[in-house]
Structure 1
C-alpha cells in the first residue's frame, strides 16, 4: 500500500450520502416488477455532474447497469472494483411503519427498502467519488465502479451478464469490495467486532416436481402428487445437515474469543454458539448447509386431485459442500419426486490477509478505536459470485457503525428496513480512508 495523507471528506460529502440514499430509495427498483434503468440513469447523471464518464449496459430491456472507471495516480497498478446492486426485493407497504419507497428520515435513521440492501453502499460510494472529483483528489490506483441490476434474482441479467459479455471492463481488476461486511457487532461497552466478509455460501434454488394420478377429490386415492410432494418438502425442511466448521468460521470464532476473552472452541459448536448473543443467528447459519422450502403450487379446484405438484427449495451450501448437500437432498426426495435447478451459483472464499485487508482494518480502527476487524462467512449470496470468476479476491466491505441494540441482520429483506444516519457518515469516512490508502 502506498502512503498518502488522509484528507477527511467534508461534512457536506457525508451529508450528501444521506441525501443521495433518500433519492435512490425513492426510485422503486423492486425486482422483477420495476427494472433498474431509471436508477442506472440516475447514477450516470450523478457521475456526469462531476465529470466522471460512465456507460449504461442493458442485459434486457430495462435491466440496466452503470459502469465507470476513475483514473488513479498510478495506472500501472491493478484497479480496485467497487460494485453494488441497484435492485431491491419487493416491500408490502401495509406491513411497514413508513412508506417503504419514501426515503423518510425518522429517529436518526433513514427508512426504506434498500437502505441496508444495498443502496446505502451505493450512496456512500457516490458521495465519496463526487467529493473527490470536486476537490481534485485522485485515488492511488484506478477504481472501477459497477452499479448493477438483478442481484436479488441471482444476477443473470446483472453481474453475470457483465462478466459473460463485458469482461474487458473488469479484466485487470484483482480485488473487489461490495456489500454485507464491515459493519459493527457490539461486544461490550467499548469493543466492537467489524465483520468483513471473506466467504459466502453457494446457491441452489431447486424446483421439486411430483406427479400422480388425477382424480375426484371424494374418492380414495393412493397416488396423490400433493401428498407425495408434501412429504418430500417436510423431510427436507426438517432435515438438519451436519456441522462443518470452515476455515473462515474458525477464524471468526478464534477472533471473537481473543477479543472477548471467552473460551470459544471452534469445534465445540454447541458450547460457543449460544454465547454469541445476537450474532448467533447470523453465524449459526454458516456452520452447516441449509435447505428451506419457500414456495408451493398445486391444483386448480377444491374437488380435483391434480396430476402435478411443485415446490421451491432455497438451498445454500458451504464452500466445498455442494456435492454433499445434493446427495442428502436426493435421499430425502423419495419416489416420484424429481428436482431441477432454478438458480445455481458457486460458493466463494478467500483468506483474511493481504494489503487490502490491512487497509480496511486500518481504516476502521482510525474511525473507531474500539474496532476489531474479523473475517466472516455470509449465509446469503452476492455478486461476488460473478466477479470472483474473473480471478478477483472479493470482500464484503460496506462499513457501518451500528447501535448495539439494532438487530441489523433482520433488516435484510425485512420490514422497516433502515440505516442510522451517523452510521452512513461513519461509512463515508472509512471508505475515504480506504481508497486513499490502497
Structure 2
C-alpha cells in the first residue's frame, strides 16, 4: 500500500474517473474502492454509499483526542473533467513523473488533495498519532456536474454523518501565489453563487424572405447584447474587502476602495485573484434557434452563466429582468446560493498557522472563489466551508491554468509541502 503522497496521487490519476455530465461518468467506484482500501489498511472504517450504480462516495470518521470539540469535515471529489489525449504532452491518465511534476487529469483538481489526506493518515498510523478533534472524511462523486450523485445527495440523505461538523476544508485555496519576492496564500472564505439561466424569446414564425417585426431570434439577440455589454457595479463583500486591504498592506500598495479596478491593477499578478469577484457576472454561453435558414422560428433560447456575490442575488435578478426586457422570459436551470464563511475565526487562524509552520514568510489572506465547489452543498448544513488544499508552487507555474486545462500537473515538492501543512492543521 503506497504511503508517499506522490505515489498515492499518481495511483489516483491512473484511475480514469471522467465525468462527462448528465449522468455519464466512469471510474468513480474504482477510485472510491482505492480510497476505502487505503483507509481500511490504516484502521479507519470507510462507508461506501451509492445513489446510483457505480456513482460511489466514501465517508469515514477519524476519532480525535477531544471528541467534545466540533468535528472538521475534509471533503474532496474523485471525479474529473474529460481530457483529450491528442492535446496533451503525456497521456492524461498516465500519472507520469517528469521534470519535477506529476502529470495527469486531476493533478490539481483534486486528486492531489485526496492523496495528501491519505498520506497524512498514513503518517499518523506509522507514528501512532491522531487528530485533536474528530475529522470527518467525504470523498465524493459528481462534483464536476451537479453533485446529485455526490455531495448534494449526501446532504439530502445522510445529514447525520455531518451533524457535528463546525467547519470544512476542500479545494481552491491555500496554494502559494508569488508576487515579486513575496508569497501570498489565498484561503477561500467565500465563493460566488451559480445561477444558470435559460432565456426564451417567442415571436411570429414565418418565411425568411418577408418582413417580420416579431422575430424571436432578433429579440433574443438584442437582449443578450444588452446583458453582455452591461458592466455590473462593484460590490465588495467582507471577504473581497479583506483580501484587498490585507494584500495591499502586505505588498506595500496603496488601496483605494473607490477605485477597486485601479487598486487590483497595482497588485500585479495577485490582482487576478479578485478581479472576477468584485462584481456579479452574466455571461451568455449557449444559443439555440431555428431549423432552416429560410424559416423564421417562433422560439429562440439561450443559456447564461450567472455568478452572484453574497448578498446581491435579488438585486442582480432585478437587473437581469430590466436588461432582457418584457419579451424574454427567464427560468433557473440551476440556482445555488453564494457561500460565505467567517474571515476572522479560529478556523482561519489555524489554517494560517499551519501554512506559516512550513513557510514562515507566508502572507495568508482570505479570498472569494469565482467559480463553485461542493461547499455550496455542505454549507446548507450550517458548516463554515473554506477553500484550503495547500500547495507550494514554483515561480512561473500558472495554477489557474491547470484545473480543467491541457497538461494539468502538480509540482512534486509542492505536494509534499501540502501534506505537511495538512498534517499540522489536522493534528492540532
Query: TM-score w.r.t. structure 2 length?
Result: 0.94
Q: In the alignment, what sits opposite 2:325?
A: 334
SS in structure 2 of the partner of residue 60 of structure 1: coil
Distance 2:424 2:191 in 1: 26
Q: In the alignment, what sits opposite 1:17?
A: 5
Structure 1 position 415 matched with structure 2 position 406: yes
Following superposition, the deviation at residue 393 of structure 1 comes to: 1.4
Deviations 1:293-335 (A, max 9, x none): 1222223333333332221111111110001111111111124
My pick for the range that moved more, 23-32 or 246-255, is 23-32
Distance 2:225 2:405 in 1: 25
Deviations 1:30-83 (A, max 9, x none): 222324222222211221222221111122233221101111112222211100
Q: In the alignment, what sits opposite 1:216?
A: 207
* 1:282–1:409 Cα contact (<8 Å) kept: no
Structure 1 position 232 matched with structure 2 position 203: no
Following superposition, the deviation at residue 18 of structure 1 comes to: 1.4
2:355 paired residue among 352, 361, 364: 364
Q: In the alignment, what sits opposite 1:151?
A: 143
> How many residues are matched?
423
Q: 1:215 to 1:41 in 2, by over 3 A?
A: farther
SS in structure 1 of the partner of residue 122 of structure 2: helix
Distance 1:312 1:365 in 2: 44
1:170 paired residue among 159, 162, 177: 162
* 1:128–1:428 Cα contact (<8 Å) kept: yes
Unaligned runs of at least 5 residues, structure 2 = none
Q: In the alignment, what sits opposite 1:204?
A: 195
Unaligned runs of at least 5 residues, structure 1 = 1-11
Query: TM-score w.r.t. structure 1 length?
Result: 0.92
* 1:28–1:34 Cα contact (<8 Å) kept: no
* 1:278–1:407 Cα contact (<8 Å) kept: no
How do 1:37-436 and structure 2 match up within 5 A? 37-189=29-181, 191-436=182-427
Structure 1 position 28 matched with structure 2 position 29: no
CA RMSD of aligned residues (A): 1.8
Distance 2:141 2:78 in 1: 6
Distance 1:101 1:307 in 2: 46
Question: After the TM superposition, which segments of 4 or more aligned residues of structure 1 sit over 6 Å from their partners?
Answer: none
* 1:245–1:267 Cα contact (<8 Å) kept: no
* 2:80–2:109 Cα contact (<8 Å) kept: yes
Deviations 1:232-253 (A, max 9, x none): 2222122210011121111111
Following superposition, the deviation at residue 280 of structure 1 comes to: 2.2
